[in-house]
């Protein structure tokens, strides 16, 4: 009896990593969800598939930095059903928010300038009042 095995199957068999452990096949990857802070201050939801929470934490801290990882949870339903609670902000909304913040800063600077002017005016009045009267 002769068995014909395609060469591609033989090559595939030779390429299989023989050092893999049984748990690598029996334990499926879990999905971990993290709330992370970006460099611009925004918080977003990031996902990663790995075997344990420790590995997920290591991955997220490597990517985003230790202080920027706010929360990590295992997501039981899978990667397709992750709900993002953050509203996606459009560039126009970001621009409006930035302009409103600039306007607020300008108003604050105007108030500070008026306060400085009033202080300098009060100092001038005080100096004029402390000078002797000229008759």
For 7-24, what is each residue's pLDDT tens digit?
544 444 555 555 556 656
Tell the residue number behind the tokens 């930035």, with chain if given: 98
List of E strands, the chain:
30-37, 43-50, 69-75
Q: For the full predicted model, state whether its pTM sits above 0.75.
A: no
Cβ proximity of 60 and 44 under 8 Å: no
Q: CA angle 72-77-82, nearest 5°?
A: 60
pLDDT for the residue 2: 56
Beta carbons within 8 Å of 42's beta carbon, 6+ residues apart: 89
98: pLDDT strictly greater than 70: yes
Query: What mean pLDDT, rounded, does the chain reach?
Result: 78
| pLDDT value, residue 99 | 93
Q: Could you give the CA distance from residue 3 to residue 10 in angstroms, rounded to a whole number?
A: 13
**Within a 13 Å sphere around the CA of 2, how many CA atoms are in the beta-carbon half?**
2
The C-alpha atoms of residue 88 and residue 65 are separated, in whole angstroms, by: 22
**pLDDT tens-digit readout, 33-71:** 999 988 888 888 888 888 888 899 999 999 988 888 988
């Amino acid at each position: 009896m002769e068995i014909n095995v395609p060469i591609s199957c033989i090559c595939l068999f030779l390429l299989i990593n023989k050092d893999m452990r049984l748990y690598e096949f029996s334990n499926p990857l879990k999905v971990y969800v993290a709330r992370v802070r970006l460099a611009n201050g925004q918080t977003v939801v990031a996902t990663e598939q790995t075997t344990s929470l420790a590995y997920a934490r290591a991955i997220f801290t490597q990517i985003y930095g230790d202080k920027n990882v706010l929360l990590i949870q295992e997501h039981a339903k899978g990667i397709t059903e992750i709900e993002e609670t953050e509203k996606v902000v459009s560039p126009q909304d970001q621009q409006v928010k930035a302009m409103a913040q600039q306007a607020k800063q300008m108003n604050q600077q105007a108030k500070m300038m008026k306060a400085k002017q009033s202080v300098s005016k009060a100092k001038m009045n005080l100096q004029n009042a402390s000078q002797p009267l000229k008759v």
